[in-house]
């Protein structure tokens, strides 16, 4: 049993989802020489439309209410479908990685919407109160869920480390609350013991609960379910538009947690050696301060989120693998 709740930093209203800023070339920048190790042309991709289909197939509640969910939160997150349709925005490959992790854990894909609420799907997001990363962990939560935070490396900003921890915790909550994703996300936001207490005060249990009637929980916690439902309904509304579906139907890099060799010094050098876009690799892995890979005293390899190597997919049979969604 976990001894702490994965406290959400979103005790305040969620921030509007920003677009991933484009990389600006620096003056006098010299293009990197092509690597002989691999070529981006041979790296595996999948259609963004397939990612969306996997998300829809994994929903616990695929049907939207007649009103499409909360008008307030639909308006708040209105740019989420646009971001997914925008080529060059990191959100769709990251979303695909999290959808894969959630589905490998046999969890509803409503959980893959949580990073939209928490961070706008920005791995480097930081909040004033201290939470950081896709899932917005505070430092105490990170330590309690084995996410390393040390000089030069903040695992909360690692999509690999933070997603692994978040999915493990969500799997615990999902079992604790009888497979009711609504109760699980309320517990994710407020802490499991608060939700258990609210069930007792309301004379309910996890199997017969009406989450919207639970007493003693904050409006923010009640709104968490509304936010995820609104996001799901926004995407369902968007897929009625052929233009949006066509925009999704583009090759999206298949992301994977890849082990860095112990001799690696910088993300840029490693990425170039792998024939990858060094700017994208660094942007998706802000856990490494300044892109530097600090030497470690243990034998555990650090992992970086990057386009999967074809050979690795053949060996593991998955682009996510146990590194992202282990039990």
**pLDDT level of residue 106 (50, 70, 90 thresholds):** very high
Residue 301's pLDDT is what? 78
Confidence bin at 310 (pLDDT 50/70/90) = low
Q: Read off the tokens for 304.
A: 């970086």
With 70 as the cut, is the pLDDT of residue 316 above it?
Answer: no
Hunting for tokens 């049979």 — which residue is that? 317
pLDDT band, very low/low/confident/very high, at 93 (cuts 50, 70, 90): very high
Comparison of pLDDT for 172 and 301, the residue scoring more: 172
pLDDT above 70: residue 8: no
pLDDT tens digits for 162-187? 999 999 999 999 999 999 999 999 99
Higher pLDDT, 115 or 24: 115
Q: Which of 162, 196, 145 is nearest to 184 (CA)?
A: 196
* pLDDT over 90 percentage in the chain: 72
Alpha helices by DSSP H, listed for 86-156, are 91-104, 114-119, 139-144
Does the structure show a pLDDT above 80 at 112?
yes
Q: Does pLDDT of 29 surpass 80?
A: no
Instruction: Return the top range by mean pLDDT from 16-25, 62-71, 98-107, 260-269.
Output: 98-107
Helix (H) or strand (E) holding 29: none
Residue 211 has pLDDT above 60, yes or no: yes
DSSP-derived 3-state class of residue 68: coil
What are the pLDDT digits (tens) for 47-74? 999 999 999 999 999 999 887 789 999 9
pLDDT surpasses 90 at 92 = yes
pLDDT at 262 over 50: yes
């Amino acid at each position: 049993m976990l001894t702490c709740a994965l406290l959400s930093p979103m005790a305040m209203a969620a921030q509007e989802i920003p677009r991933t800023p484009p990389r600006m070339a620096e003056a006098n920048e010299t293009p990197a020489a092509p690597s002989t190790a691999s070529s981006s042309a041979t790296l595996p991709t999948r259609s963004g439309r397939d990612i969306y289909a996997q998300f829809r197939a994994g929903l616990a509640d695929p049907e939207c209410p007649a009103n499409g969910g909360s008008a307030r939160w639909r308006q708040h997150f209105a740019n989420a479908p646009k971001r997914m349709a925008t080529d060059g925005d990191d959100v769709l490959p990251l979303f695909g990685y999290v959808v894969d992790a959630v589905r490998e854990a046999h969890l509803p894909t409503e959980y893959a919407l949580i990073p939209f609420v928490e961070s706008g799907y920005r791995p480097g997001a930081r909040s004033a109160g201290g939470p950081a990363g896709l899932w917005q962990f505070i430092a105490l939560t990170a330590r309690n869920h084995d996410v390393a935070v040390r000089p030069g490396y903040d695992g909360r900003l690692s999509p690999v480390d933070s997603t692994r921890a978040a999915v493990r915790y969500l799997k615990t909550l999902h079992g604790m609350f009888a497979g009711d994703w609504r109760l699980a996300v309320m517990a994710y936001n407020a802490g499991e013991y608060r939700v258990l207490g609210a069930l007792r005060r309301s004379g309910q249990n996890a199997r017969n609960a009406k989450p919207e009637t639970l007493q003693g929980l904050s409006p923010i916690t009640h709104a968490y379910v509304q936010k995820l439902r609104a996001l799901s309904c926004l995407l369902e509304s968007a897929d009625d538009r052929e233009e949006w579906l066509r925009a999704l139907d583009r090759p999206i890099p298949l992301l994977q947690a890849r082990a860095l060799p112990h001799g690696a010094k910088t993300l840029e050098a490693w990425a170039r050696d792998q024939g990858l876009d060094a700017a994208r690799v660094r942007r998706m892995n802000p856990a490494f301060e300044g892109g530097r890979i600090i030497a470690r005293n243990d034998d555990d390899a650090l992992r970086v989120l990057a386009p999967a190597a074809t050979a690795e997919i053949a060996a593991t049979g998955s682009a996510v693998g146990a590194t992202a969604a282990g039990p």
